[in-house]
């Protein structure tokens, strides 16, 4: 794929301080995009910008909590005033909450819904509105079918797969998938593409910082250690997911399962939903 694919484009990436976000920011920068790296950890976002500049790209770091509606309003306005309306937005910021639904408290639900779902809603509605307004103000250009821009929402293979171990996480990611499908239909006539990217297991560190409910402190450590071991064995780096994101934007894909397990779960959810419900009954061992 051409390294000048996004030459001159402005790309906003949330959760850009690490994992999929940093890998995506670098992949876009490598292909000519100016990258706005946003993260709740400003220092991490700044490190990402340093890496983009090492690739010869231009970038800027912003600190923002995607779950905070007012903060996201301010962030979207700042991007527009400091730079311009973005051409690409990747709503990537996400957290994990694992453990039984009956042990998941309201505070846990509010936290994961705030980041994983509301963060995507805020990023989608605010920047899509900017893209629509820009398109209405500019002359029609039939030779540029995606002239309005592109929004990528990072869901997960968990969006296809019910799990007794990850009910809160699966719920938010399934919602992100449906939100993306709805928004794609709404914006199609505006020449704005929308993609839901659904990675399987990848070494992003999300579980190291995740919340685990229903077990004591020792059980939490065992589960985190086990998750780290499994992800190391899986050995699927964020950079490969970033490449699929780049390809999805270029080809205006609707739903993109990433890696083997995501493809299998996606297929099973469509052709054998009963099997998926049976798998969901299997308890997760502590290690």
Per DSSP (E only), the strands in the chain are 10-14, 34-39, 59-63, 88-91, 97-98, 149-154, 192-199, 211-212, 255-258
CA distance 282 to 33: 44
Per the annotation, the verdict on 169 as an active-site residue is yes
Give the residue from 166, 243, 272 showing the smallest Cα distance to 5: 243
DSSP label of 113: I
Instruction: Give 140-145 contacts, CB < 8 A, sequence gap 24+.
Output: 144/191, 145/191, 145/252
| Active-site residue (options: 62, 147, 169, 236) | 169
192-215 burial, b at 16+ Cβ within 10 Å, e below that, comes to bbbbbbbbbbbbbebbeebbbbeb
Give SS3 for 63: strand
Catalytically active residues, by annotation:
169
């Amino acid at each position: 794929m051409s390294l000048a694919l996004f030459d001159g484009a402005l790309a906003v990436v949330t959760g850009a301080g690490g994992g999929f976000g940093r890998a995506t920011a670098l992949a876009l920068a490598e292909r000519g995009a100016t990258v706005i790296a946003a993260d709740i950890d400003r220092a991490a976002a700044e490190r990402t910008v340093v890496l983009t500049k090492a690739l010869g790209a231009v970038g800027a770091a912003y600190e923002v909590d995607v779950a905070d509606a007012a903060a996201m309003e301010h962030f979207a306005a700042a991007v527009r005033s400091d730079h311009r309306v973005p051409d690409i937005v990747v709503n990537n910021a996400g957290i994990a909450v694992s453990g039984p639904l009956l042990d998941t408290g309201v505070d846990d639900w509010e936290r994961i819904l705030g980041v994983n779902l509301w963060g995507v809603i805020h990023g989608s509605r605010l920047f899509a509105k900017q893209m629509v307004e820009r398109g209405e103000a500019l002359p029609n250009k039939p030779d540029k079918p995606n002239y309005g821009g592109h929004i990528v929402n990072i869901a997960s293979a968990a969006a296809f797969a019910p799990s007794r171990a990850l009910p809160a996480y699966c719920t938010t990611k399934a919602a992100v998938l449906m939100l993306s499908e709805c928004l794609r239909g709404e914006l199609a006539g505006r020449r704005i593409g929308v993609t839901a990217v659904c990675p399987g297991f990848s070494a992003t560190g999300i579980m190291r910082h995740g919340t685990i409910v229903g077990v004591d402190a020792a059980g939490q450590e065992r589960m985190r250690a086990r998750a780290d071991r499994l992800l190391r064995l899986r050995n699927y780096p964020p950079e490969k997911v970033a490449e699929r994101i780049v390809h999805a934007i270029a080809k205006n894909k609707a739903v993109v399962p990433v890696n083997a397990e995501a493809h299998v779960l996606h297929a099973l959810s469509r052709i054998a939903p009963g099997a998926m419900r049976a798998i969901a009954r299997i308890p997760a061992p502590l290690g």
